[in-house]
Structure 1
Amino acid sequence: VIRVMKKLAQVHPNLDSTQRSLVVDAYTNLANEACAARKTLDGCSSALAALSAEPACSSEEQGAEKSAVAESEEQSLSRDGEEKQTREEAALSTLKTLGLGLVSATQLHEFTAFFEFCVNLYKQRVTDDLFALNEDVDRFVLGVLLPQAENHEATAAYQQLRGDVSRHTAALTKNAEIRRRMEERALRAYESALQSTEQDDELKVTPLHLGIVLNYGVLLKSINQGQQTNRAIELIAAAFRYSVENMYHVRNEEEYQRVLVILSLLRDNIEKWCAETGRTDVQALLGMDYRSLSSGQSLDAGSTASFA
């Protein structure tokens, strides 16, 4: 899809809304796949670390341990027996994570160093691929799409794409300088996107604008060791209150449902972040209209929001 859209953009760079959605969705799916792969690999790393902490044992020792457990169960469930059962359950979970139950603990212990090397190598490959994707997005958006964007909505969509991919790239990289650069790029992209949507009143209560606010808030909270959490709270709370008060601007039922879902995510973040920072003004942040809306219509209805 991306290759086709790039060829099309060379001839007709002013993409319509359908073509624009194809470009954004294609890049977004690739970034999401990279993040999902990294999450899986992080789980493997944790499982390998847990496995390394456990001493390896032979099949005879495993059989002796099973017999001991059986005898212990016949006698009584002592504290030692419970601890052993907990360790066995953890080992079983590790086996399922690493070998899907097809590889024994002894085999995993024997090749732990090799597995750790492979996982770390794959992690770096995923990070490198996402970085390359991010650079590709930046060149395509800045060099081709943005100069020909037909309206504020198109400009905001392209800038959000830049912000989202840069934010995820920053989250995966271990290089402090690259992380800082990607975070700054994401901040600038989100700020530019918000400037575009705020110039058009019809865009202020749309999935596009609220999605930008949501992701921008997540980025603000994640950088500088959470020093901008209060700023993130105020940002998303202001968007939440405005949207609740102006729901009549929503253009159709499908968009209405998507707006409700993102409002639910905004509300959840406000409540969670206030709890983390000790703030007690949640109801004031959400606004008086929140109670009447949530009592008559659930903010959790509808489909899931993309790329939050």
Structure 2
Amino acid sequence: MPTFEHLSCPIDKQPLSSQGRSLVCSNGHSFDIAKSGYINLLPVQNKRSKDPGDSKEMVSYRQSFLNLDHYFPIVKHIIDQWPSALIDSSPCRVLDAGCGEGYYLHHLAAEFVKHNVALQRVGLDISKWAVTAASKRDKDATWIVGSNASLPMPDDCLDVVLCLFGFPVFSEFARTLSDKGYLLLVESGADHLLELRQILYPSIHPYKATHSEGIEGFELISESSLHYPFRLDSQEEIQHLLCMTPHIHKASYDGKEAVKLLNTINLTAHVNFRWYQKTTKEDHNAT
């Protein structure tokens, strides 16, 4: 069962403590735990829209596609590249920052059990629909509706932050990671879903690597990539994939109509992985 420990009030940063089915801070701000087991720590004043993040429909499409396990090799690759220093840190305190409907965090824990590695897991997403789905999938993690821009947790409380195809806020990641804590960025590579993009767009923009100049407060310790084929065998599967990506909003009408004519498609998954370690003031002074 989720413990909801070590969380902070999103309004005044005070520690939150359990009172029945609520979390309460010393100033009286109260947040109810939902029936499915998540907590909403995204105050109205921090929302940029009435219903931020992925819609209920988009979350459903993503869940349907991910449950086909075409992206399960990503989980395996993360485990294969997991820093050895974290294997001895048990339970390892992990935040999935932008967790979506919980696919990766859930499967990481299930696979790590086979290696006798325990994870203390927190998943956070700005979409209440995504977090609702995650909390129904996995009852053993702590699921939070919140924003990477203001993580509702204290300083130095995490061993690992995962940001998988999400929107990183490095200052918040550095604040909440312990000294020498780790950050994993997982992003699409140049060839990711290339075959689909070639149908959707008249031309493909050149690929530009992100954060090539480095990230303040972090040291790059390893990088790798995963490149493999997979196949979708129905128009429904193809639409579920399309509708969970930004391409559903960016592509032209003609491109999306062309995709509707497909009943099968061979695709490429190309994913880049970069592990960073938090640096301290002492590290900067040493260099």
Normalised TM-score (structure 1): 0.23
Normalised TM-score (structure 2): 0.25
Structure possessing the higher radius of gyration over alpha carbons: 1
Please state which structure has a larger fraction of its residues in strand.
2
Q: Which has the higher contact order (CA 8 A, sep 6+)?
A: 2
Please state which structure has a larger fraction of its residues in helix.
1
